[in-house]
Structure 1
Amino acid sequence: MVASSLVWADQAPASSEPVAAPVLVDGARRIEVGFSPEGSAQDLVLRTIGAAKSSIRLSAYMLTSPDVTKALISAKQRGVDVAVVADHQGNLQGGAARAGQHALTLLARAGIPTRTVKAYAIHHDKFMVIDGKAVETGSYNYTAAAARNNSENALVVWNDADLAEQYLNHWQSRWEKGQAFKPSY
C-alpha cells in the first residue's frame, strides 16, 4: 500500500528520491512522511508547526535550526501555546553550543517557556505534539545539518489523540526533569 502511494516531488532533488504522499489510515487519521537532505523532512516539520492552532509541545535533542526557531516564534505570535524542552549538553555545550544557545535565547525572549534536561546522558527525543491530536517524530533533529546534510526522516500522524496523549505524557515527564533556560544575553 505504501509503495503505491509514492509520488515524485514537484522539485525532485538530484537523487530523485521518492517522497511519500499522505496516507489515509482509517478515515480521519492521516500519516505523512518526509526525508532529508531532499528537503521534504524540513518542509513537513515547518508545515506541522504552521498548522498548529492551540498548542505545540516540542522535545528536542538539538534545536539550532533558524527556520524551525522562526516557525515556533511565529506560532507563539499568532496565539499558539508553545513550550520546548531540549537536551542541555547538546544545545549549550560542545560544538553546537553557540547555535543552540542562540535558538533557545530567541525562543525564551519571545515568551516561549523553554527548559533543558541534564537527567540523561543524552535527551535524544525528537518530537512535537500539535494541538493534543497530532505527533511529529523521527530521526530529524531540528538543525540546519538535519535539513541539508544528513539522511533523516520525519513522520506526522494527524488526528490521533490517543497517540498524542502518550507523547504528551512523555513530554511532560521530561519537562518536569528540566531546568528553565535563562538567556545570558
Structure 2
Amino acid sequence: MSFPTQNLIPSRTIEWDLNFLAQNKIIELIDDAKSSIKVAMNVWSYKDISRALVRAKQRGVDVQIVTIQSNKLQEAIAILTSGGIPIKWSESHYKWMLVDDYTFVNGSPNWTVNGFSRSDESFIVLYDLSSEQLSVIYSMWNHL
C-alpha cells in the first residue's frame, strides 16, 4: 500500500528527524495525545515510551498496541500491561504510531536502545492526515 500523494494541501507538514531525536519526539507526541494512540511496533524494549503510553492511558487516551510475540518477556511490555494497556500479538514488521487520527509517525527504528542510539535509522512524522491517508493506515491496522 502507498499513501496518496495527489492533491495534498500545501500547508500539510512533514517532519523528518534522525534517530537520536526520535525517542523525544515520540514521547512528546504521546504526551500531547488527546483521544487515541495506535502503535504497531516490531521489536520493543524502550521503557520510556511505554511509561509515556501508560500516562496517556491514565489521562483517558485510548491506547492500542500491536507488537510481536517475542516481545512478551520485555520489561517495556510489562509496563504497558501493568498500566492496563492490552497488547495484541502479531508477526508484522510495522514500526509506526497514529496519534489522534491526525499525526502519523513511521520509520525504520525499532523502539529499542539500539534503534534510537546505535543504528543508522530515521523516521518521519506526518501531520494533518487526509482522509485517504487515514484510510490506508486503518486498512493496515485492521489487517494486524
State if a TM-score over 0.5 links the two structures.
Answer: yes
For the 8 Å contact 2:47–2:79, the answer to whether it is kept is no
Which residue does the alignment assign to 1:164? Answer: 134
Which residue of the other structure, out of 28, 33, 36, is the alignment partner of 1:47? Answer: 28
How far apart in 2 are the matches of 1:141 and 1:69? Answer: 13
Asked whether 1:132 is paired with 2:101, we answer yes
Gaps of 5+ in 1: 1-24, 93-97, 175-185
Where 2:14 maps in the other structure, the secondary structure is: strand
Deviates more, 1:45-54 or 1:64-73: 45-54
Choose between structure 1 and 2 for higher RCO, CA contacts under 8 A separated by at least 6 residues: 2
Deviates more, 1:54-63 or 1:140-149: 140-149
Which residue does the alignment assign to 1:116? Answer: 89
How far apart in 2 are the matches of 1:152 and 1:83? Answer: 24
Q: For residues 12-23 of structure 1, what are the structure 2 equivalents within 5 Å? A: none
TM-score, structure 2 normalization = 0.85
CA radius of gyration, larger in:
1
Q: 1:83 to 1:48 in 2, by over 3 A?
A: same
Gaps of 5+ in 2: 1-8
Where 2:124 maps in the other structure, the secondary structure is: strand
Offset of 1:155 from its aligned partner? 0.8
Give the ranges of 4+ consecutive aligned residues of structure 1 lying more than 4 Å apart after TM superposition. none
Where 2:52 maps in the other structure, the secondary structure is: helix
How far apart in 2 are the matches of 1:165 and 1:50? Answer: 25
Q: Which one-letter code corresponds to 1:63 in the other structure?
A: W
What is the identity percentage for the equivalent residue pairs of Structure 1 and Structure 2?
30
Which residue of the other structure, out of 26, 30, 37, is the alignment partner of 2:10? Answer: 26
Q: For residues 48-127 of structure 1, what are the structure 2 equivalents within 5 Å? A: 48-89=29-70, 91-92=71-72, 98=73, 100=74, 102-118=75-91, 123-127=92-96
Deviates more, 1:56-65 or 1:44-53: 44-53
How far apart in 2 are the matches of 1:108 and 1:26? Answer: 40
For the 8 Å contact 1:129–1:168, the answer to whether it is kept is no
Offset of 1:103 from its aligned partner? 1.6
Q: How many aligned positions are there? A: 135
How far apart in 2 are the matches of 1:54 and 1:106? Answer: 21
Computed over aligned residues only, the root mean square deviation of the Cα atoms, in angstroms, reads: 1.6
